[in-house]
Amino acid sequence: MEKEIRREAIRKYLRYFRIWFIVAGLVVILLLGTLVLKVKQYNLPRRNTIAPAERVYDSADVLTDEEEEKLRAAIAEAEQYSHADIIIVTINMPMGVSDSEWERNMMNCADDIYDNGKYGWNMAYGDGALLLDNWYEDGEGSQKGSWLSTSGKMEDIIGWREEERVLDDMYEYIEYDPYRAYLAAVERLGAYGRKGAASGDSDGIDGFTGLLGAFVISTIAAAAYLMTHMSQSKAKDTTSAGTYVQGGVPALRAKSDEFIRKSVVSRRIESGSSGGGGGSHRGGGSSGHHTSRGGHSHGGGGRRR
């Protein structure tokens, strides 16, 4: 008897949670499947074997040897998960005084370095981005600024907004810590290569916050479930005042509503006042798809500083 009751209890339990078990099982299967797929993808070898291994050309000499090494290591890591070449080039040379001349020269220079090096993760002139950073300034003024040349999938991913984001990250540190600035650019480019434009922009929910959120939501839901099922609706009094009255209604013999007196109270209305708000605005830069002098498609853009 006791065994039968226990068996029935287990049957009921399994029946009650069957949908939950199925969904949880599917999620676990989905997770494992994706994990296997991602591991395979992550371990894909770089297919371009003709491009040079060098990723950091510090012609402007703004980085120490140690910083260059660290940057190379960071780029190698970012390239592995983004499957895109990332090259940092610093120069110290005049590129033109006028904006249009400066932009044209920076663009051509960046595109040429990329094309001449035959960069690209998947093939020559393939997926990748090159950041050209100019430190030139003379008596006529500053020609400092950066240009981002993109190619292959990075050309598709990085539009004007993404390019601005890369440069914003970089310019936060560029004047006092160039290494940190380039590192920020590498990380952002790596994120774009890995996640695509929309996701790469957002810093997203990190794993710990996400899991903590899941834990909190589950705990709240479980507590709500517990309370809902613990509470019991009590039997209510379903009689009314007229339940035991013959015919359901009483006989009204007399009814009077006599006015006695009236009182009026007046009050002055206090007037009040309210204020307004403000706003802000910011400017932007330029970008565009074009064909380099070497005949290869590039995207990107830049900014003077």
Q: Among residue numbers 155 through 214, which ones bind other proteins (CB under 8 A)?
A: 194-195, 199, 204-205, 207, 210-211, 213-214
Scanning 11-19, 122-130, 134-142, 155-163 for contacts with other proteins by CB under 8 A, the matching segment is 11-19
Q: Give the one residue of 3, 15, 40, 262 binding other proteins; rule: CB under 8 A.
A: 262
d(CA 257, CA 106): 94
- Tally the C-alpha atoms within 13 A of residue 99's C-alpha that lie toward its C-beta: 7
Site for other proteins in 96-135 (CB under 8 A): none
233 DSSP 8-state letter: P
Please name the residues in contact with 95: beta carbons below 8 A apart, sequence gap of 6 or more: 101, 102, 105, 106, 109, 134, 136, 143, 145
Q: Is 245 in the site for other proteins (CB under 8 A)?
A: yes
Q: Is 272 in the site for other proteins (CB under 8 A)?
A: no
User: With 0-12 CB in 10 A as exposed, 13-18 as middle and 19+ as buried, what is 151?
Assistant: buried
Q: Is 295 in the site for other proteins (CB under 8 A)?
A: no
Q: Is 18 in the site for other proteins (CB under 8 A)?
A: no
Residue whose entry in the numeric block shows the structure tokens 């676990």? 28
Task: Please say which residue, 250 or 288, places its beta carbon nearer to other proteins.
Answer: 250
Scanning 64-72, 136-144, 170-178, 261-269 for contacts with other proteins by CB under 8 A, the matching segment is 261-269
- What size, in residues, is the chain? 305
d(CA 248, CA 244): 7
**Quick check: 187 and 77 in contact, CB under 8 A?**
no
Q: Is 15 in the site for other proteins (CB under 8 A)?
A: no
Task: Please say which residue, 267 or 282, places its beta carbon nearer to other proteins.
Answer: 267
Task: Please say which residue, 250 or 285, places its beta carbon nearer to other proteins.
Answer: 250
Q: Is 12 in the site for other proteins (CB under 8 A)?
A: yes
Q: Return the H-helix or E-strand segment holding 21.
A: helix 18-42
Q: Is 291 in the site for other proteins (CB under 8 A)?
A: no
Task: Please say which residue, 261 or 282, places its beta carbon nearer to other proteins.
Answer: 261
Beta pairing partners, 301: 148
Scanning 48-56, 122-130, 154-162, 242-250 for contacts with other proteins by CB under 8 A, the matching segment is 242-250
Beta pairing partners, 56: 88
